[in-house]
């Protein structure tokens, strides 16, 4: 495993639509491992392949100590409810903003072995799934956010 450089918002790669992964192989698994290590080192809860300069439809999410979600070629199956809360992004370091997201999301894709998986998430997990999914379509949270700002020390 290796740490990858996280590209920041001025990099045009973040505005491009990612391509489908056509074959889940050792190279893809290595990228997933590197993305998870990079996300953990940066104290993030999610990281999409475009954020490390790879235009492929895959991301990793981990909102607790229990489960690392790895999704290849994800599709949103269901999204409902509404939550409005603060988000940040490893590609927009230091800033936060308020974003509307679904409260509940069902998402499906492939796991690291190319097997179909489906996950449901509420609250922070739903927010993280949607945030990372947006990256695959060239969308950064600041495109949807209100009041993007540097947090004060007392926040």
Answer whether 148's CB lies under 8 Å from 97's CB: yes
Does residue 4 fall inside a structural domain? Answer: no
Q: Provide the domain limits for residue 50.
A: 12-149
pLDDT above 90 (res 155): no
Q: What is the mean pLDDT of residues 128-140?
A: 98
- 154 belongs to a structural domain: no
Give the pLDDT score at 1.
77
List 70, 122, 132, 155, catalytic entry: 132
State if pTM tops 0.85. yes
Cα dist. 141→27, 67, 108, 122 in Å? Answer: 28, 24, 21, 18
24 found inside a domain: yes
> What is the per-residue pLDDT across 7-25, written as a single tens digit (0 to 9) for each?
999 999 999 999 999 999 9
Is 134 inside any structural domain? yes
Question: Is 37 contained in some domain?
Answer: yes
Is 10 catalytic? The answer is no
How many domains does the structure of the chain reveal? 1
% of the chain exceeding 90 in pLDDT: 95
Asked whether residue 90 is domain-assigned, the answer is yes
* CATH number of the domain that residue 23 is part of: 3.90.45.10
């Amino acid at each position: 495993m290796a740490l990858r450089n996280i590209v920041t918002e001025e990099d045009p790669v973040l505005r491009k639509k990612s391509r489908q992964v056509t074959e889940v192989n050792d190279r893809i698994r290595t990228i997933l491992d590197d993305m998870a290590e990079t996300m953990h080192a940066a104290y993030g809860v999610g990281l999409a392949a475009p954020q490390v300069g790879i235009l492929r439809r895959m991301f990793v999410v981990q909102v607790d100590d229990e489960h690392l979600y790895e999704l290849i070629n994800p599709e949103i199956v269901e999204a409902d409810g509404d939550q409005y809360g603060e988000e940040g992004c490893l590609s927009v370091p230091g800033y936060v903003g308020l974003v509307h997201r679904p409260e509940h999301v069902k998402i499906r894709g492939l796991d690291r072995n190319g097997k179909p998986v489906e996950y449901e998430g509420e609250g922070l997990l739903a927010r993280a799934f949607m945030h990372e999914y947006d990256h695959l379509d060239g969308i950064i949270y600041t495109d949807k956010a209100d009041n993007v700002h540097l947090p004060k020390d007392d926040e």
